[in-house]
Every structure is written in structure tokens, then in C-alpha cells.
Amino acid sequence: MFASGSGTNAAKIATYFDAIPDVSTEKIYCNNPNAGVLDRASSLGVATRLFNREEYTTTIIQELEALAPDLIVLAGFLWKIPQAYLAAFPNKIINIHPALLPKYGGKGMYGRHVFDAIVANKESETGITIHYVNEHYDEGAIIFQATTSVLPNDTAADVAEKTHALEHAYFAPQIHKLLQQQ
């Protein structure tokens, strides 16, 4: 997995797969030395690898190729995936987005920015999108979507809470389903 933030999705995924003997979270790669995901991974006994921009474009892809993962999961990872990764792991890199793509996707549309936009545009529904990663932000083929209502008096924080509940309920099972199809 790759993560940049608090790591709640990464923790849910790692915990989910603890109960499944033939699947494991090998390592969590992180680009942010202050990210909560590092502590969460440590408490779960999952190895981590902190990296910088230079390592991201050089040594990390070599490490991944040596691991030969069945799937690379982006769980709140904020850097764009380089073309070399896409070529080395075709249809093996997936992401979760906190909105119903194609709405509210693209560069700069992550976390609070998405929830603020949903509330500002008075959407009545939102959700999550799990998708393959391609060369453009949030434009890869959609694997799965789940929806939730947005009430007229919902704040961005309310929308975030509903969206996180969907992420925690659906992301790991959808990853499992993809792995079973391989």
C-alpha cells in the first residue's frame, strides 16, 4: 500500500486481511514522515518504507518489482503515479477517491477539498469510487462505487464522516474481490 496521511483506510485493509491466510499486506510505503499511517502500521506489525521524491522515481519501483505484488493499493496517497509504475504494473494499481467520479476528481481534489466542493454545490448524493490508476488523476477505469445521501444541512465534516464510513466498509472487500479474480 501507499499512503500519505492518517492511515485509517490502510489500517482497515491490513486488519481485514489479517483474517485471510493467503493474502497479506507486505509493506506500506509513505512519502510523509509525519503521517499517522506510520504509527498505525507499526502497531499492526506491518513493515513501512518512508521515501522522498528522488527515491520515488528510482529505488521504490525496483523494490516493488522485487516484491512482485499482486496489487498495489493507494490508500490516501497524494502523489501522482509515474508512468514507469503504470508500465511495470498494468492494471495492478488501484485507488480510492472520496467522491463519485468523474465528479470532484483531478489534481488538488482530495480530502477536505472534495467535501467542501460537494457541500458548496449542494449535491444530494455522493460516495466513493475505487478505480484503476492511469496517467491522469482520477480518470482510470471504475471498479466500484457506493453512494450516500447528502442532506441540505450537512457540513463538509458530515460528508467526510459518511464517506469514510463507505471507504471502511467497502475498500478491503473490493480489494479481496480483485485478488480472487486474478
User: Which residue among 97, 136, 164, 176 is the active-site one?
Assistant: 97
Q: Which helix (H) or strand (E) holds 13?
A: helix 8-18
Q: Which of 105, 61, 108 is nearest to 86 (CA)?
A: 61
Is 97 known to be catalytic? yes
Residue 172 grid coordinates: 478491503
**Helices and strands per DSSP (H, E), number in the chain:** 7, 7
Q: Which one-letter DSSP state was computed for residue 166?
A: H
Say how many residues make up the chain. 182
Cα angle: 47, vertex 52, 55; to 5 degrees: 85
Q: Which residues are catalytic?
A: 97
